[in-house]
Structure formats: C-alpha cells, structure tokens
C-alpha cells in the first residue's frame, strides 16, 4: 500500500540533516560554530535524561549536576596533564557510579518525591563545586582548559572542536539508538508503563531502575567532559539547579520518550536566546510562557503533537479509503 518514496523520506531526511551538520561550519562565523557545538553538547546531556525520564519514566532534576561532575573531572584532569580521553573514561565511571547510588531512592519513592531527592542532590553538588576550593577552584573556577589533540590533529580551532562534539553526539546517539531497541530499552519502557506488570513478567525492575539512572547520568558526564574544553573555563554558576531544570524542560518540550525529542528540545533551548536577542532579558520570560502554553496544549511535547497529528491524518486517510470502498461492499447503509 505505502509507496516506497514515503518510506524513504525518513532516512533521507536523516542523511540530509547529518550532511547539513557537517557542512554548516563552513558558512558560519566563530560564534555560530560555538553555538552549534554548544547545541551538540547540550543534546548529549538531554539524550541521557531522555533515557532516564522518557524511556524509563524516572524523573530526575540532577542531570545538570552530572554535567558539572563531568566538566570538573575534565577540567581538573586535563589541567594536570592527563589526556581528555582518560578524563572521559574517569568521568563516565564516576557519573555511572554516582548515578547508580542516586537510583537507590528511586527504588523507594516515585514521582514528585524522586524529583525532590534529585533536586536535593543537585543543590548538594553545586555546594561542593562552590565550596571545595582546593579541588574546584571555588567561585573563581578553573581557567585555560586545553582542547585535546586527536591522532596528532590539534582541535584548538573552533571548527575542529565542533567536529569533536559532533562526533561524540553521533557516537552517543548510535549507542542510545541501539539501547532503546535492545531488550534493555524494552525493559525500560515496561518499567515506565507499568512497573508492577514488568516485575510480574520477570523483569528485574530494581536493577533496571538503577541502570536507567546510571546510564543517563554517565551520558550527562560525557556532555560535561566536552563542555569544559569547549568553553575553556569552568566555574560553578552554569551547573546550578537552573541547568537541571532547563534540561528537563528541553526533554519535555522536544517530546519525552521520542528519540529525536532531545535534539529538538536542545535546539530550541540553545537557539531561542540567540533569536530572541533583540528582546534582551525577556527571552527567558517568553521561553517559560511558551513552555507553559505548550504543556497546556499537550504534555507530550512538540514531537508528541506532530506524532498525534500524523496518526490522525493516517486514520483519516484510511477511513476515507474505507468510505470510498464501502458503497461497492454494502450499498445504502448509513455510515
């Protein structure tokens, strides 16, 4: 029934988007490339949160703290002369372990209680970043974080480092794509939809809840490891509760539980301040207002609304086909 062209448009759009992302830096100035890199880094953090929240259904207000842990790990280790790759591995292990521990409260409490526990963790992490001056440099932060040299190529230029971020985004996306299609991903969804039923089907909900937190947090750490050399400066301010709230709103706005939701949500969150630059400080007001209106319309986010509209169109087309076929089948009966 479906013509082959219609089935091809999705992969075609994906290839086009990837080509555009690779070609874009050639048409952009330094600042534009920086914004694009920031989008890639933010998207990685949002993908992690989407696994925890969108697929496994565990709300977390601590993703910003994990980005912070990753960023500080990278900053401290590369300043001490370690290569970024080692910092990346350390950050992944560290965030995975801390995320695993943070998952334990989720075994006991759900929903809004979980939101508050993770919120408390986020605030604690911020206090540590700010107060442990011997380690994190306190409010003055850490300056001059070097960008890495990969296979002998220096990534000091904005463009080169953009490709590092894009490559990391690609790798994380592939991993997440594989994960949500693996039995693990299905177990996550089962956990979200009906934990009791999942358990009765023999899914170890305990382990998968902890896993959902640990994996989501580790991906947040990856995002932080890239953030530090991107900005070349780390201080506590960007990793306050506001980042966690923003990441949560990104996932919600894009569409939680949709694979491309975080990409879209991060795009809006990173680009909106640039587009609304003429409104000066009002952009956050406008952003918050738009988010509220969107949530009132549909809490499933932009992709959720699109998905609904597509399904409705499909049903309408199908019923139109049925209606056209009906007179030949049973004439005269009222529809």
Asked if 278 touches other proteins (CB under 8 A), the answer is no
Asked if 275 touches other proteins (CB under 8 A), the answer is no
Q: Residue from 101, 284, 305, 306 that binds other proteins (CB under 8 A)? A: 284
Which of 133, 154 has the CB closer to other proteins? 133
Minimum gap (Å) between residue 71 Cβ and other proteins: 21
Asked if 131 touches other proteins (CB under 8 A), the answer is yes
Q: Residue from 21, 24, 101, 115 that binds other proteins (CB under 8 A)? A: 115
Asked if 234 touches other proteins (CB under 8 A), the answer is no
Q: Residue from 117, 176, 190, 225 that binds other proteins (CB under 8 A)? A: 117
Asked if 281 touches other proteins (CB under 8 A), the answer is yes
User: How many residues interact with other proteins (rule CB under 8 A)?
Assistant: 39
Q: Residue from 51, 252, 264, 269 that binds other proteins (CB under 8 A)? A: 252
Which of 64, 148 has the CB closer to other proteins? 64
Q: Residue from 296, 324, 329, 334 that binds other proteins (CB under 8 A)? A: 296
Which of 25, 137 has the CB closer to other proteins? 137
Minimum gap (Å) between residue 110 Cβ and other proteins: 8
Which of 121, 184 has the CB closer to other proteins? 121
Q: Residue from 113, 140, 143, 177 that binds other proteins (CB under 8 A)? A: 113
The 3-class secondary structure across the chain, one letter per residue, is CCCHHHHHHHHHHHHHHHHHHHHHHHHCCHHHHHHHHHHHHHHHHHHHHHHHHHHCCCCCCCHHHHHHHHHHHHHHHHHCCCCHHHHHHHHHHHHHHHHHHHHHHHHHCCHHHHHHHHHHHHHHHHHHHHHCHHHHCHHHCEECCCCCEECCEECCCHHHHHHHHHHHHHHHHHHHHHHHHCHHHHHHHHHHHCHHHHHHCCCCHHHHHHHHHHHHHHHHHHHHHHHHHHHCEECCHHHCHHHHHHHHHHHHHHCCCCCCHHHHHHHHHHHHHHHHHHHHHHHHHHHHHHHHHHHHHCCCHHHHHHHHHHHHHHHHHHHHHHHHHHHHHCCCCCC
Which of 104, 143 has the CB closer to other proteins? 104
Minimum gap (Å) between residue 221 Cβ and other proteins: 21
Asked if 127 touches other proteins (CB under 8 A), the answer is yes
Give the interface with other proteins as residue ranges (CB under 8 A): 59, 104-105, 108-113, 115-117, 119-121, 123-124, 127, 130-131, 194, 196, 241, 245, 248-249, 252, 281-282, 284-285, 287-289, 291-292, 295-296, 299
């Amino acid at each position: 029934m479906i013509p082959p062209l219609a089935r091809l448009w999705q992969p075609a759009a994906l290839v086009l988007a990837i080509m555009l992302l690779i070609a874009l830096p050639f048409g952009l100035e330094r600042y534009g490339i920086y914004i694009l890199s920031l989008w890639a880094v933010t998207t990685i953090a949002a993908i992690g949160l989407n696994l925890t929240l969108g697929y496994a259904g565990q709300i977390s207000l601590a993703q910003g703290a994990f980005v912070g842990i990753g960023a500080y790990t990278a900053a401290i280790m590369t300043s001490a002369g370690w290569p970024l790759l080692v910092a990346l591995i350390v950050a992944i292990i560290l965030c995975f372990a801390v995320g695993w521990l943070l998952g334990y409260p989720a075994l006991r409490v759900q929903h809004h209680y979980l939101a508050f526990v993770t919120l408390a963790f986020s605030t604690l992490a911020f206090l540590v970043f700010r107060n442990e001056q011997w380690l994190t440099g306190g409010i003055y932060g850490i300056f001059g974080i070097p960008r890495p040299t990969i296979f002998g190529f220096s990534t000091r230029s904005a463009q080169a480092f953009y490709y590092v971020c894009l490559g990391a985004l690609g790798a994380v996306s592939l991993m997440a794509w594989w994960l949500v299609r693996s039995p693990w991903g299905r177990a996550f969804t089962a956990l979200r939809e009906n934990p009791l039923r999942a358990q009765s089907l023999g899914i170890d909900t305990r382990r998968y809840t902890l896993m959902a937190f640990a994996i989501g947090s580790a991906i947040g750490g990856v995002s932080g490891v890239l953030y530090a050399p991107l900005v070349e400066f780390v201080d506590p301010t960007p990793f306050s509760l506001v980042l966690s709230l923003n990441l949560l709103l990104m996932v919600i706005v894009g569409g939680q539980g949709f694979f491309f939701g975080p990409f879209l949500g991060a795009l809006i969150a990173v680009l909106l301040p640039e587009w609304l630059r003429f409104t000066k400080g009002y952009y956050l007001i406008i952003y918050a207002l738009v988010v509220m209106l969107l949530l009132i319309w549909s809490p499933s986010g932009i992709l959720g609304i699109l998905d609904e509209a597509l399904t409705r169109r499909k049903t309408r087309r199908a019923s139109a086909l049925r209606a056209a076929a009906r007179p030949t089948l049973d004439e005269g009966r009222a529809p």
